[in-house]
């Protein structure tokens, strides 16, 4: 049986974050889709879709990666998609001065819909694998720079992200030692909303 899924873009409540549902062509052989299309991403964001690096992670069920973000400037926009298995994907607005500062949104990504999440500069990102051997791929607008990489604790009680509780989360030592949102703000290591707007353009402020 053959078919074509519906496609579209849905903006979430955090400025600059959106979910992309790709067009999936399926038949008796399997399925085909355009996982990443620079032109469409440019139409969606109003800015060049620069790809400096593409990363892939493979995770056991319960692996919790994040919350990660990058200093602005230079910032690092990302486009995440789950190619195998499933994840609970979470974005957190950590931009000081943002109208949605401290707010998070969650989306399930899996290998049935192949939806992707665009995460703009300055927004925190995390995900938990919901199945063994889950594969997540993501583009990065800037190469990874260790000195610019920042983390927040994924179990920060003030954020109260409802991670699945059917198994103890597997968290890296670096993420487990990360500060809370309040501690990071007090330390002055959170990005400023206005800098993010200037760095990324104003397409997502309206």
Catalytic residues: 68, 138
Pairing mode, strands 123-129 and 63-70 = antiparallel
Block residue for tokens 């139409």: 43
Question: Peptide bond preceding 74: is omega within 30 degrees of 0, i.e. cis?
Answer: yes
φ/ψ of 67, rounded to 5, equals: -90, 125
User: Which residues, at least 6 apart from 97, have a Cβ–Cβ distance to it below 8 Å?
Assistant: 192, 193, 194
Pairing mode, strands 24-27 and 123-129 = unpaired
Question: Peptide bond preceding 15: is omega within 30 degrees of 0, i.e. cis?
Answer: no
User: Which residues, at least 6 apart from 173, have a Cβ–Cβ distance to it below 8 Å?
Assistant: none
CB 111 within 8 A of CB 130: no
Q: Which helix (H) or strand (E) holds 42?
A: helix 38-45
């Amino acid at each position: 049986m053959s078919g074509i899924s519906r496609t579209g873009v849905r903006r979430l409540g955090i400025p600059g974050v959106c979910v992309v549902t790709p067009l999936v062509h399926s038949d008796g052989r399997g399925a085909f889709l355009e996982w990443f299309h620079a032109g469409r991403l440019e139409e969606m964001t109003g800015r060049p879709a620069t790809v400096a690096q593409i990363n892939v992670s493979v995770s056991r069920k319960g692996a919790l990666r994040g919350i990660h973000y990058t200093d602005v400037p230079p910032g690092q926009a990302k486009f995440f998609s789950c190619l195998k298995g499933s994840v609970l994907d979470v974005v957190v607005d950590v931009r000081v001065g943002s109208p949605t500062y401290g707010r998070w949104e969650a989306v399930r990504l899996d290998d049935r819909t192949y939806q992707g999440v665009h995460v703009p500069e300055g927004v925190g990102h995390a995900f938990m694998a919901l199945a063994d051997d889950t594969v997540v791929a993501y583009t990065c607008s800037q190469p990874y720079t260790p000195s610019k990489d920042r983390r927040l604790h994924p179990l920060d009680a003030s954020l109260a992200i409802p991670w699945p509780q059917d198994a103890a989360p597997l968290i890296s030592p670096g993420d487990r030692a990360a500060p809370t949102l309040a501690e990071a703000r007090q330390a002055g290591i959170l990005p400023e909303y206005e800098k993010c707007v200037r760095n990324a353009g104003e397409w997502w402020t309206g």
